[in-house]
Amino acid sequence: MKAYLKIYKMLLKINFSSLVMYRSNFINSTLSSMAWAVFNFVGIIILTSRVSTVFGWKREELIVLTASFTILTGIFHMLFSKNFERIPKLANSGDLDRILLYPIDSQFSVSFWEIHYSHLIRIPVGIGILFYLFGLLKISITWQQIIMFMFFLVVGLIIQYCIWFLATTITVRLTRLSNIPEVLYSVTGIARYPRELFRQLTDYVFIFLLPLTLIIVTPVKVLFNQLTLSEIFLFFGVAISFLYISRKFWKYSLRYYTSASS
């Protein structure tokens, strides 16, 4: 474990050095990331401009949901999304062979190699909106709730990581499906909407989307003291299950991986 922490610390430094070298790209990416964060809030404000509630969620609660989504998205895109974009390229080019020869875990190599600091801006934007909204509405939040919210947000991050990892692992065997990461960018946006919105869909579609609907809604319910024991068990059950399945599926896919360079 210590060895992997040292490696990751080194990767953080290397990626930061790259950031310093290409500052104009970093500034452009940061502005783009901030624009997307603002766009999400504008969308919710427009959606609730003529109605007081949406599927039982008040306007303020939806903004908190969007702010929490912004925080998690900032963390996820900074740490993981570019790595998942890289997996199909590695499989197509045959560079995955080289990674499999590294004396470290292959899942670690493909998941944590690149860090994109430009998405970091979303985190203070989301946190700032949360503090402003709670202050404006004079909502009292305890330290216990904040700690629980952060913990549940990390678990939500794990679920989102596993969903992306499962989906992009498919490209190890089916290399023509290289556009899966682009699809995931759109699909995972579902997480910023209330789960009740999707209950109108068929049971099969709702069950398929259920993990995504848990990622943000569950931590937000901690802040509003609305979380039930059954939802907690479901949340952690999904996280543990997806961790196990994604790991097994990666190992299984590598057994049938055929090098593009051979």
| 58 three-state secondary structure | strand
Residues with Cβ within 8 Å of 198's Cβ and at least 6 positions away in sequence, in order, are: 190, 205, 206, 209, 213
> Buried (b) or exposed (e) across 9-21, using 16+ Cβ within 10 A?
eeeeeebeeebee
Domains of the chain by residue range: 2-255
Question: Cα separation of 151 and 139, whole Å?
Answer: 21
81 DSSP assignment: I
Question: Cα separation of 110 and 90, whole Å?
Answer: 9
Question: Cα separation of 128 and 108, whole Å?
Answer: 32
Whether the predicted model's global pTM rises above the 0.85 cut: yes
Question: Cα separation of 130 and 66, whole Å?
Answer: 9
- pLDDT tens for 182-224 read 888 888 887 777 777 776 666 666 677 778 888 999 999 999 8
- Give pLDDT tens digits along the chain (262 positions): 788 888 888 888 888 887 777 777 778 878 888 787 787 788 777 877 777 777 778 888 888 899 999 999 999 999 999 999 999 888 888 788 888 888 889 999 999 998 988 888 899 999 998 988 888 877 788 899 999 999 999 999 999 999 999 999 998 888 778 788 888 888 888 777 777 777 666 666 667 777 888 899 999 999 988 899 999 999 999 999 999 999 999 999 988 777 655 5
94 DSSP assignment: T
In contact, 160 and 215? CB cutoff 8 Å: yes
| 230 three-state secondary structure | helix
Strand 53-54 to 57-58 pairing: antiparallel
Burial class (CB in 10 A: 0-12, 13-18, 19+), 51: exposed
In contact, 67 and 136? CB cutoff 8 Å: no
